[in-house]
Structure 1
Amino acid sequence: MSVNPLEALPIDELRRRSSTKWRKYPDDVLPLFVAETDFAPAPAITDRLRRAVELGDTGYTPPDPGIRDAYAAFAKRRFGWDVDPAHVRTTCDVMMGVVEILRSVTRPGDRVVVTPPVYPPFFECIPEAGAVVERVPLVDTGAGWKLDLPGIEASLAGGARAVLLCNPHNPTGTVHSKEELAQLADLAAAHDAVVVSDEIHGPLVQPDVAFTPFLAASSTAARIGYAVTSASKAYNLAGLKCALMVTAAEGTARVVRALPDEVEWRTGLFGALAGVAAFSPESDAWLDGLLARLDENRRLLADLLTEHLPGARYRVPGAGFLAWVDLSDFGWGDNPARTILRDAKVALHFGPLFGEEGKGHVRINFGCDPAVLRQAVERIGRLARS
């Protein structure tokens, strides 16, 4: 059954927003950098937050705001994954959850594997937890990207104590297969290590792609894994501050339960209320409409790049609203987004922030109106021809 895609808000209305996307740069810049989207919130979220404001319901987050049960039902409905609400705990945001878990499962100086190019805060949250980043880049197969399992095994054999996974992967939009994830779990278990999986983009996997939450990949993954997720990326709720730490075994659940109470106190009440509404069946049609729009936009971007930047290399992502584009052939240096910002007035995410593998690359946010995406690529195309 076809789904009507969401329509983005008019750009004049978007410029009234006070978030980073619309305040970092002047109005003559098209902002396609930070991971915020340009759509009106799901109606259930708007209604829930409006009621809270009208009630003055702006106090502390209660011990059980309902989001654990809401997420468990969502995971079952959307992913076919059985989550025990008793194995879910909340905190402020995904990176805070990652830091607190890593603090608990590593010792100062332990090495944690990351798979660049990868979300830039990974390089900061590991040192914040007292550990050291160990880079094992994704393997470029020519058709896509996959985990370098032999490389990860070598790191674990050499003493790395954890793998910080991005599933689905940011910035490439890669959705790791169940088989890869199960093999990763086996490698970690063989070396008495753990896997912490950032799954914030999980709700944004396209319907034609199979998404496997890490903890659902195998019984071993359930035993040695931790997942951290949120409604914030799919439903554009980053400012409301609520993330979920999920486990699937008693041993890992004990680790999360032992985290200081303050970790949970950092959960934003509005984030929890909005998350309950986002994960409710009421918001499923909205999410389906978003996925339909993102599907159209990810394919439109491929056509636009072919037309206006034929030297660009881009693979249509399987998840999310972020595109990883190689612009190395245009002579704009290691960080082409700087030149594009200055001369084309389009703000893209700086590729080198994602690791050495990001040199010559940009990340483009296509969670916007198709007309905005078209205008942005046309501007960059004119720069390339100048």
Structure 2
Amino acid sequence: MPFPLDVPESELRRRRSEKWRAYPEDVLPLFVAETDVLLAPAIRDRLAAAVADGDTGYFAEIERLAGVCARYYSRFGYDVPEDAVVPVNDVGVGVRESLARTVPAGSGVVYTPPVYMPFGPWIRRVGMTPVAVPLLDHDGEDPRLDLAGIERALADGARAVLLSHPHNPTGVVHSRAELAELAELAVRYEAVVISDEIWAPLTLPGVEFSSFLTASDAACEVGLAVSSASKAFNLAGLKCAFVVNGNPERFEVRRSALSGAVGHFGALAAEAALVDSLDWLEQMRAALASNLDLIEKLLTEHLPLARWRRPDAGFVAWIDLRGYPGLGNNPAKLFLDEGRVALSPGPAFGSEGEGFARVNFACSEELLTEAFVRMGRVAAERG
């Protein structure tokens, strides 16, 4: 079992986070995007020292955290100025506040289903209208932006594009050429691109990630990127993310308005992650790659009619189960009811996800294997 995905199930079941409390104990949880890891040692030690010292008050070191995030994010092809980084509570807050502060009220916002379930609600929550422009070949080997469709939406009045990059759930890393063309469209139609890049630290071995802001000069003119250490280092409950403002002169996204919501422990953990835990992160990426090799084997053995595209980044796999018509439009429901395996339902990502399910594979080989054995049994009976 590869480190760091080597935590026994008996230990995991003591956790009180959503992944291990949402379902009864006979269910294998491979749904919400939490990872089955212990904290990286530097993060564990920093948080333990803070508790020992009673250092549990309000977060104050805005400039320090902004510098940490700027230096880390500069590895993705853009020399990030420290004053362009705005720490925020989480990626959802960063996206919503960026929309609210850069896009006229009531505007249409393009998003690219099948995509992360909260995108539509986030857009509506700030008084704007979601405009779906599905990925081309979203169910094939080459998922990509429908740039012609996005241009039509912008021509019809949409004033922003909410990008998932790397894309959740397909795992595709959009190409620099796609992103550069998207930036040109945004310039042409005076639109904004907000790029959710929370999965950026988790590109898999052999894959390179470049932020939207690196695609061209135009991308910085129209873009903001939002990211966090939370997915890569399993820190979601500590509440810390950041916005990289590509054009501070144009976009009024200010630290004074947003940074007060950052969790103190989240900031301490983010610094320990992004400065002192990068070797651990490499081990995590290698473990995820090993689990992808295992998924290929498990699909062949237990779900031979399923299709998938090996993701470029992240720890979720987008599985096409339409080869088993007996599983219906929402295979995850039957896998839960009859196999006691919890996955993310495909239709939750948009109508394009009917017949699909999303599998969180950031777990031990034993749990992953047992989950596919159970799903294969259900598919054989129902398919």
Task: Report the TM range for the smaller structure's normalisation.
Answer: over 0.9
Amino acid at match of 1:346: V
User: How many Å apart are 1:329 and its aligned residue?
Assistant: 2.3
Q: Is the 8 A contact 1:223 1:251 kept in 2?
A: no
Please give the residue correspondences for 1:142-153 in structure 2 after superposition, counting only pairs within 5 Å: 142-153=140-151
Corresponding residue of 2:132 = 135
Corresponding residue of 2:312 = 318
Please give the residue correspondences for 1:1-386 in structure 2 after superposition, counting only pairs within 5 Å: 5-64=3-62, 66-76=64-74, 78-140=75-137, 142-252=140-250, 254-257=251-254, 261=257, 263-280=258-275, 282-330=276-324, 331-386=326-381
Q: Is the 8 A contact 2:77 2:214 kept in 1?
A: no
Change (3 A) 1:260 1:126: farther
SS of residue matched to 1:6: coil
SS of residue matched to 1:49: helix
User: How many Å apart are 1:356 and its aligned residue?
Assistant: 0.7
SS of residue matched to 1:220: helix
Long gaps (5+) in structure 2: none
- How many matched pairs? 378
Q: Is the 8 A contact 1:177 1:211 kept in 2?
A: no
Amino acid at match of 1:385: A
Q: Is the 8 A contact 1:215 1:247 kept in 2?
A: no
Q: Is the 8 A contact 1:302 1:314 kept in 2?
A: no
Q: Distance in 1 between matches of 2:71 and 2:39?
A: 21
Q: Is the 8 A contact 1:107 1:130 kept in 2?
A: no
Q: Is the 8 A contact 1:201 1:320 kept in 2?
A: yes
Amino acid at match of 1:214: F
Q: Distance in 2 between matches of 1:316 and 1:223?
A: 33
Amino acid at match of 2:293: R
TM-score (norm 1): 0.95
Q: Distance in 2 between matches of 1:123 and 1:353?
A: 11
SS of residue matched to 2:169: coil
SS of residue matched to 1:250: coil
TM-score (norm 2): 0.96
Identity of aligned residues (%): 51
Amino acid at match of 2:305: G
SS of residue matched to 1:329: coil
Q: Is the 8 A contact 1:92 1:241 kept in 2?
A: yes
Q: Could you say what the CA RMSD is over the residues aligned between the two structures, in angstroms?
A: 1.4
Question: Please, which moves more after superposition, 162-171 or 333-342?
Answer: 333-342
Q: Distance in 2 between matches of 1:326 and 1:264?
A: 40
Q: Distance in 2 between matches of 1:7 and 1:357?
A: 31
Change (3 A) 1:172 1:237: same
Amino acid at match of 2:192: V
Amino acid at match of 2:365: P
Q: Is the 8 A contact 1:323 1:366 kept in 2?
A: yes
User: How many Å apart are 1:332 and its aligned residue?
Assistant: 1.4
**CA-to-aligned-CA distance 1:291-332 (integer Å, 9 cap, x gap):** 000011112112211110011111100000000011122221
Q: Is the 8 A contact 2:322 2:356 kept in 1?
A: yes
**CA-to-aligned-CA distance 1:165-222 (integer Å, 9 cap, x gap):** 0000000000001111111000111100010000000000123112110111111001
Amino acid at match of 1:279: L
User: How many Å apart are 1:108 and its aligned residue?
Assistant: 2.9
Q: Distance in 1 between matches of 2:137 and 2:58?
A: 46
Change (3 A) 1:12 1:5: closer
Q: Distance in 2 between matches of 1:109 and 1:335?
A: 33
